[in-house]
């Protein structure tokens, strides 16, 4: 019987480039920036890396469809390198491949890296002409803001939340992320905003305004993973391990049948339940010290609080307004600024989330360091509310 991967894989080094509009750098530059930090952190030599997973989602103009660019940019000679893609969960997918490879015993030291050079493509999440089942049947001329705006209106309707109250809660989400990003030198957007700024901003897709939406960025993030035993031999006093890695992909049921009310994200509910079981967590509200979630839009973060079992159904908006997820709240969320402000280079986002949890666990987050950080969760959502992939990782100290 499968027993999961709890404490079977350690993260011994992580790195992250600065996110933003990196016009003068190519994808290889960003990969090298993240890798240089990670290998120095791990305290190993390049030749000790036995395999690698490269996550790239949309940008194939510079990186291409193969895994070759990672081997070339990082000078990893003749090792196994695999390229993966899974929408906005691509970075976590790369980590999952690396972690499972170590957990299986196939390799001792493995690299996971995610990168995206989105600014050069002009991609902004708007409707496109790519044909296929999802686009042709369920999402003709659709857009990400439009799809998540529908999530907002469905949630509001289901729980009878006054529109002004929901908008205030969404505004609080955005203001919180901007406040946190000010303390993060690698973040794309480092400017404070007010609730009034959010509420008076131009509407993108009712009820989502400009400040309710994350932008797109260039960036890279990576992790070096091994066994806890090797981590100790490398001199790591605090051994950071993967407690759980779970993935859930919708099969279209939400879009095809009337059993889904449009007010929740089912894959998050399923993946969270599996992740907590694998990590041995009975009560996530008591166990988790910080979380990084997929705040592509402010409403997404709000609804995910319920999918992750951190707020009761219909209560997330009020918990947010009461400061439950602020940096000094019960469960700090997006301490690094999240997708909203750290940025969202799609292939890198999942690993960027783990990078923040890793820094917090080691007490290396600088000005944004939390007083207590023993266990953290990251969550990626790729796709739209009715057709998506959800990836969850839980990271903590060995044995804790």
The span from the CA of 40 to the CA of 19, in Å, is 20
Residue 179, judged by CB atoms within 10 A of its CB (0-12, 13-18, 19+), counts as middle
Structure tokens at 130: 């790519």
In the set 16, 88, 296, 341, the catalytic residue is 88
The span from the CA of 344 to the CA of 114, in Å, is 11
At 239, is the secondary structure helix, strand, or coil? coil
Instruction: With beta carbons less than 8 A apart as the criterion, state whether 58 and 118 touch.
Output: yes
In the set 172, 178, 188, 344, the catalytic residue is 344
- The DSSP call for residue 333 is B
Residue 292, judged by CB atoms within 10 A of its CB (0-12, 13-18, 19+), counts as buried
The span from the CA of 219 to the CA of 328, in Å, is 28
The span from the CA of 375 to the CA of 400, in Å, is 8
Nearest to 369 by CA among 186, 243, 184: 184
- Residue 66 backbone dihedrals phi, psi, to 5 degrees: -95, 175
At 383, is the secondary structure helix, strand, or coil? strand
**348: Cα within 13 Å, side-chain hemisphere:** 34
Residue length of the chain? 400
> Is 344 an annotated catalytic residue?
yes
Active site residues per annotation: 88, 344
């Amino acid at each position: 019987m499968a027993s999961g991967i709890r404490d079977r894989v350690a993260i011994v080094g992580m790195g992250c480039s600065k996110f933003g509009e990196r016009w003068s750098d190519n994808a290889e530059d960003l990969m090298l920036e993240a890798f240089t930090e990670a290998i120095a952190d791990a305290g190993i030599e390049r030749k000790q890396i036995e395999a690698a997973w490269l996550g790239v989602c949309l940008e194939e103009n510079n990186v291409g469809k193969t895994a070759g660019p990672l081997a070339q940019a990082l000078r990893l000679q003749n090792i196994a390198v695999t390229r993966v893609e899974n929408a906005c969960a691509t970075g976590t997918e790369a980590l999952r491949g690396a972690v499972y490879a170590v957990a299986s015993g196939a390799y001792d030291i493995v690299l996971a890296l995610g990168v995206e050079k989105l600014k050069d493509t002009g991609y902004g999440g708007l409707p496109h002409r790519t044909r296929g089942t999802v686009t042709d049947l369920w999402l003709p001329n659709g857009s990400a803001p439009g799809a998540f705006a529908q999530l907002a209106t469905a949630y509001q309707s289901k729980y009878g939340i006054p529109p002004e109250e929901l908008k205030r809660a969404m505004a609080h989400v955005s203001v919180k992320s901007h406040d946190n990003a000010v303390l993060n030198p690698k973040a794309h957007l480092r400017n404070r905003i007010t609730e009034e700024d959010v509420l008076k901003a131009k509407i993108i897709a009712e009820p989502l305004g400009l400040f309710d939406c994350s932008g797109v960025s260039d960036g890279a993030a990576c992790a070096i993973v091994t066994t806890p035993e090797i981590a100790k031999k490398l001199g790591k006093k605090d051994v950071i391990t993967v407690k759980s890695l779970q993935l859930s992909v919708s099969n279209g049921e939400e879009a095809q049948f009337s059993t889904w009310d449009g007010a929740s994200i089912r894959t998050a509910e399923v993946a969270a339940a599996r992740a907590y079981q694998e990590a041995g967590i009975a009560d996530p509200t008591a166990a988790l010290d910080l979380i990084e979630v997929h705040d592509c839009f402010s409403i997404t973060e709000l609804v995910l609080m319920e999918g992750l079992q951190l707020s009761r159904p219909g209560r997330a908006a009020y918990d947010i307004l009461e400061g439950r997820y602020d940096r000094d709240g019960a469960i700090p969320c997006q301490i690094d600024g999240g997708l909203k402000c750290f940025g969202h280079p799609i292939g890198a986002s999942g690993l960027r989330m783990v990078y923040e949890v890793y820094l917090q666990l080691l007490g290396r987050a600088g000005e944004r360091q939390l007083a207590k950080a023993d266990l953290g969760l990251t969550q990626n959502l790729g796709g739209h509310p009715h057709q998506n992939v959800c990836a969850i990782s839980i990271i903590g100290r060995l044995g804790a």
